[in-house]
């Protein structure tokens, strides 16, 4: 018996909604990364992008445990000499909670062309509303 390998044209993508209200950032990001990679499917193939679309709602109500709100820092560089920007997570969660979810999920995806394609299917929203009702997404419980 041979091992099944999925082809790019055979992949069927579904849409899932994860409600992040009251859940920790790491658990939500880990489940979203699993869905984006397609590891929950029996047809998972490591070299084929066979994941699904993930909508994360209520990102503003996500929980960071311990002292991460004041001690965890997001660094980015503008490209100019000496322009390293540092943003603490309490400021990031107050202004752009979707970015915090996106950074956490991106860190759990592979650093190659597959990971770059998979992160594009993540759609985080700060509130409870999203604009993807036409795709009829399923609720995913963590």
User: Residue 68 is inside which H or E element, if any?
Assistant: helix 68-71
Task: State the pTM of this model.
Answer: 0.95
- Mean pLDDT score of the chain: 97
Q: Per-residue b/e over 37-76, b at no fewer than 16 CB within 10 Å?
A: bbeebeeebeebbbbbbbbbbbbbbbbbeeebbeebeeee
Identify the CATH class of 14-63+96-140: alpha beta
Q: What are the pLDDT digits (tens) for 75-88?
A: 999 999 999 999 99
pLDDT of residue 1: 77
Domain extents in the chain: 14-63+96-140
Rounded Cα gap, residues 40 and 138, in angstroms: 15
Rounded Cα gap, residues 69 and 91, in angstroms: 8
Mean pLDDT over residues 100-117, rounded?
Answer: 98
Q: What are the pLDDT digits (tens) for 38-47?
A: 999 999 999 9
């Amino acid at each position: 018996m041979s091992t099944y390998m999925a082809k790019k044209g055979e992949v069927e993508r579904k849409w899932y909604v994860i409600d992040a209200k009251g859940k920790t950032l790491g658990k939500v990001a880990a489940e979203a990364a699993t869905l984006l990679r397609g590891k929950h499917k029996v047809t998972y193939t490591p070299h084929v992008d066979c994941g699904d679309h993930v909508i994360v709602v209520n990102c503003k109500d996500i929980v960071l445990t311990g002292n991460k709100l004041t001690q965890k820092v997001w660094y980015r560089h503008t490209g100019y000499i000496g322009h390293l920007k540092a943003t603490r997570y309490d400021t990031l969660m107050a202004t752009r909670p979707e970015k915090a979810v996106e950074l956490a999920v991106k860190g759990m995806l592979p650093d190659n062309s597959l990971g770059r394609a998979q992160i594009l299917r993540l759609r985080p929203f700060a509130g409870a509303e999203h604009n993807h009702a036409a795709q009829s997404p399923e609720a995913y419980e963590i």
